[in-house]
């Protein structure tokens, strides 16, 4: 077991507060007392570190940020907002990349708990299986037991009894808005390239698509709904497969802008023009959206604002749980048009 400050104080015959003053050098202490404390530190091999300071001061100045994919511009934008807001209050953001692996995510939570982080912010979609939700609730309670605030960003709470605030994105509303846009242009056979099965973001965006079609009296074409991941490769592979199988569609709606970029590549490779032959739309309004030509119709998600809101919740009132929904907005550009006459 690591040596504690209390043990150092006992060996030196002084109070823990006196040991703290000697170690921090922020208060005058008699020379003889300082020497006794320093000798006790050497004899016990006591190490002064951030964890020890956190025990003394009930704060570490650390904000742990666990991202699903640090290389994805979506997560990078949120992380930028978190880091900027944290720095304004002299807090250090520690960025961790879980790669969407729950085991790795939980390991990072334990590390942050061990370092007594002031707050931990989990960013990105979460699995929807019961085993994950039960374990996530346990981890959330563990963080609270050591005074670490938890904020869930872009995902719902794992359970009613799980502590932690939530910054949620109106994914379903954004998906509904962009689906309505395509319907109003006259599209009925819409290929939808969605994200991985059983992830919260995938479920919400797919629900917005399906509900909007149903409200318009349009039956979704099930063999035009393709699951992948949130990558360019997923977009390329999905469109290539749909074309190879002879599926007919007049528009492609992608789960995010990276998927849309991959879809655009596959359409060009097949000799199809956007939007003359096929309309194309994405989600998130990443910088990729205006790098594509024609510029991409998409849904704007205010990423930095989401990150800043997460910090605001992390250091706001602890009770009751706060849930903030960040709105999205349709951004119409040149990649969508009425379907070409056939």
Domain residues of the chain, as ranges?
Answer: 5-48, 62-169+303-328, 171-300
Taking Cα atoms as reference points, which of 249, 237, 183, 248 lies closest to residue 210?
Answer: 183
Tokens 């910054």 appear where? Answer: 167
pLDDT for res 298: 98
pLDDT for res 55:
47
pTM for this structure?
Answer: 0.81
Let me know: does 9 contact 16? Beta carbons within 8 Å.
yes
pLDDT for 56 equals 47
Tell the CATH topology of 5-48.
434 Repressor (Amino-terminal Domain) (1.10.260)
The yes/no answer on whether domain 171-300 falls in CATH 3.30.70.20 is no
Give residue-wise pLDDT tens across range 304-316.
999 999 999 999 8
pLDDT recorded at residue 22: 83
With a cut of 50, list the residues of the chain below it in pLDDT: 51, 54-56
Cα 209 to Cα 4, 76, 78, distances in angstroms = 57, 26, 25
CA distance 103 to 111: 13
pLDDT of residue 49: 53
Domains 62-169+303-328 and 171-300 equal at CATH topology level: yes
- Sheet containing strand 190-194, edge to edge, reads 225-227, 190-194, 251-254, 279-281
Architecture of domain 62-169+303-328: 3-Layer(aba) Sandwich (3.40)
Residue 266 in tokens: 């596959």
What pLDDT does 60 receive?
Answer: 75
């Amino acid at each position: 077991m690591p040596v504690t400050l209390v043990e150092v104080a006992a060996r030196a015959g002084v109070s823990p507060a006196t040991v703290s003053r000697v170690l921090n050098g922020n208060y005058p202490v008699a020379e003889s007392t300082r020497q006794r404390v320093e000798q006790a530190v050497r004899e016990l091999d006591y190490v002064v570190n951030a964890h020890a300071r956190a025990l003394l001061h009930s704060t570490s100045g650390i904000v742990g940020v666990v991202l699903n994919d640090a290389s994805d511009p979506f997560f990078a934008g949120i992380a930028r907002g978190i880091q900027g807001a944290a720095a304004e209050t002299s807090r250090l953001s520690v960025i961790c990349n879980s790669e969407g692996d729950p085991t790795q995510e939980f390991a990072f939570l334990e590390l942050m708990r061990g370092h007594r982080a002031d707050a931990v912010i989990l960013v990105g979609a979460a699995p929807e299986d019961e085993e994950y939700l039960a374990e996530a609730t346990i981890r959330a309670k563990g963080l609270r037991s050591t005074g670490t605030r938890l904020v869930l960003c872009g995902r719902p709470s794992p359970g009613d009894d799980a502590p932690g605030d939530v910054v949620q994105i109106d994914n379903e509303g954004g998906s509904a808005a962009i689906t309505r846009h395509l319907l109003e242009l006259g599209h009925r056979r819409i290929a939808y390239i969605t994200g991985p099965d059983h992830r919260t973001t995938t479920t919400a965006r797919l629900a917005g698509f399906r509900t909007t079609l149903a409200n318009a009296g349009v039956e979704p074409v099930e063999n035009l709904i393709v699951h992948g991941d949130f990558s360019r490769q997923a977009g390329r592979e999905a469109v290539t497969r749909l074309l190879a199988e002879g599926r007919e569609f007049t528009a492609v709606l992608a789960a995010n802008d990276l998927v849309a970029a991959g879809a655009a590549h596959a359409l060009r490779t097949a000799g199809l023009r956007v939007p003359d032959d096929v309309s194309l739309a994405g989600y998130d309004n990443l910088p990729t959206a205006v790098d594509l030509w024609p510029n991409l119709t998409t849904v704007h998600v205010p990423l930095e604002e989401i990150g800043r809101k997460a910090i605001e919740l992390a250091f706001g009132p602890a009770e009751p749980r706060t849930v903030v929904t960040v709105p999205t907005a349709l951004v119409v550009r040149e990649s969508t048009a009425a379907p070409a006459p056939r």
